[in-house]
Amino acid sequence: MDALYLVKIGEILLKLGNRKEFEERLRGQLNKKLAGIPHSVNIMPGRYYVCVPEDRAEDAEFILSRTPGVNGYIRARKTEKTLEAVFEAAVQVAKERVASGLTRFKAESRRSDKSFPLGSFELSAELGARVLEACPGTRVDLHKPEFTINAEIRERAYVFPDPKPGLRGLPVGSGGKGLLLLSGGIDSPVAGYQMARRGLALDAVYFHAYPYTSKEAHEKVMALARILGSYTGGITLWTVPFTDAQLRIKKEAREDLTTVFMRTAMMRVAHLLAQKIGANCLITGESLGQVASQTAENMRLTESTTDLPVLRPLVGIDKEDTILLAKEIGSYETSILPYEDCCVLFSPKHPMLRADHEREGASYRALDLEGLLAEALSKTERLDIPFAISRP
């Protein structure tokens, strides 16, 4: 038997009138992620149906649980449009719930096929009666049910329990592509996830200061990119050799300014790369006040080398909340591996907290890094990481 999933999609956007684009994007994402599995994705009004072989049901659930634009999903039983078939399926669904200790339920039905012998109200009542009869100990509770039995009469009949929550949000790609500055830390993967959920496709860029930052640090970033790719349907990671730029800044800039200047230089290379790959914005994991480089003044300086919007979805998020999210999305365990992304060698003891836009901006420009940064960009390595099912 095949496993059939009923997928609820972002109804708010459908109401806005971008329905076609939304549907095509989401279907494209699902097809891309399901590519290694024999499958079908069918769009019906307000619903998707995803069908996979029984032995790939878990993989399908992994995919549905990680695809922005999916509001909810649930395995459904598809039956003939006869009362007996629908009742039998409903009792099966109820028995599974009862086996997991639940008793209070309600039945809900929808009928788009008006030729079906019962109206939705009568059908719900009859479903409830059949379940009560077949599952002793259950009772109907319309206000606080522990589970719901749903029946939908469409081109076929579908019977299913409560949908599992999806990520909601918008299908990846519906907002264009963003370039994520991905370090090995906790914050930037979460920032990327947040923006993917708002419909951005992602490329990631990592600034690597080999040998000051290790090969393991680079591998850690690749692992984080792979995790993000399980949400976005694969990802391209760009690795910029940044050692020369960092050494130059360390040698020539005032010590307290090195951190903020390195960030400014990174933003510049990210800007150039974004133009090359057609990204419409930059994304960082910065959060206001978290470290010295993350004050409003310093952000003003670091973003002065790009005119793209710099999206910082964590700017007002408390670190503890970011950590919770990192755990939820499965990046935390990788992020806390010990390989540092920024060598202590490059961190000043007393970094500048509030860079003056005019004065410090002028001394940044006096470093005249453009040639060096263009060279770093030209030596940037590209790694295409395909989507993979990777359960934690």
- Residues that bind ligand ATP in the complex, under the rule CB under 6 A: 181-183, 185-188, 205-207, 284-286, 290-291, 293-294, 341-342
Closer to ligand ATP at the Cβ: 61 or 341? 341
Strand ordering across the sheet containing 70-75: 40-44, 47-53, 2-9, 70-75, 164-165
Partner whose binding site includes residue 203, from Mg ion, ligand ATP, none (CB under 5 to 8 Å by kind): none
3-class DSSP assignment, residue 78: strand
| Shortest spacing between CB 68 and ligand ATP, in angstroms | 20
> Which residue's Cβ has the minimum distance to Mg ion?
185
Closer to ligand ATP at the Cβ: 27 or 177? 177
Tokens 């038997």 label which residue? 1
Closer to Mg ion at the Cβ: 62 or 339? 339
| Shortest spacing between CB 9 and ligand ATP, in angstroms | 31
| Shortest spacing between CB 226 and ligand ATP, in angstroms | 16
For binding to Mg ion (CB under 5 A), which residues are involved?
A: 183, 185
Closer to Mg ion at the Cβ: 183 or 298? 183
Structure tokens at 118: 């019962």
Q: List 33's β-bridge partners, or say none.
A: none
Closer to ligand ATP at the Cβ: 172 or 186? 186
Closer to ligand ATP at the Cβ: 118 or 323? 323
Q: List 350's β-bridge partners, or say none.
A: none
| Shortest spacing between CB 208 and ligand ATP, in angstroms | 7
Give the DSSP H or E segment for 271: helix 258-277
| Shortest spacing between CB 180 and Mg ion, in angstroms | 13
Closer to ligand ATP at the Cβ: 92 or 290? 290
Partner whose binding site includes residue 258, from ligand ATP, Mg ion, none (CB under 5 to 8 Å by kind): none
Torsion of CA 83, 88, 91, 97, to 10 degrees: -120
Partner whose binding site includes residue 206, from ligand ATP, Mg ion, none (CB under 5 to 8 Å by kind): ligand ATP
Between CA 317 and CA 296 the distance in angstroms is 15
Partner whose binding site includes residue 290, from ligand ATP, Mg ion, none (CB under 5 to 8 Å by kind): ligand ATP
| Shortest spacing between CB 48 and Mg ion, in angstroms | 38
Between CA 260 and CA 392 the distance in angstroms is 35
Closer to Mg ion at the Cβ: 185 or 233? 185
| Shortest spacing between CB 266 and ligand ATP, in angstroms | 6
Partner whose binding site includes residue 109, from Mg ion, ligand ATP, none (CB under 5 to 8 Å by kind): none
**Cβ neighbours of residue 300 closer than 8 Å, sequence gap 6 or more:** 355, 357
> Which residue's Cβ has the minimum distance to ligand ATP?
185
**Cβ neighbours of residue 109 closer than 8 Å, sequence gap 6 or more:** 120, 123, 124, 127, 150, 151, 152, 153
Between CA 337 and CA 215 the distance in angstroms is 13
| Shortest spacing between CB 285 and ligand ATP, in angstroms | 3
Between CA 341 and CA 183 the distance in angstroms is 6
Closer to ligand ATP at the Cβ: 166 or 285? 285
Torsion of CA 199, 200, 201, 203, to 10 degrees: -160
| Shortest spacing between CB 205 and ligand ATP, in angstroms | 6
What per-residue string of b and e applies to 280-309 under the rule 16 or more CB within 10 Å gives b? ebbbbbbbeebebbbbeebbebbbbbbebe
**Cβ neighbours of residue 118 closer than 8 Å, sequence gap 6 or more:** 83, 111, 126
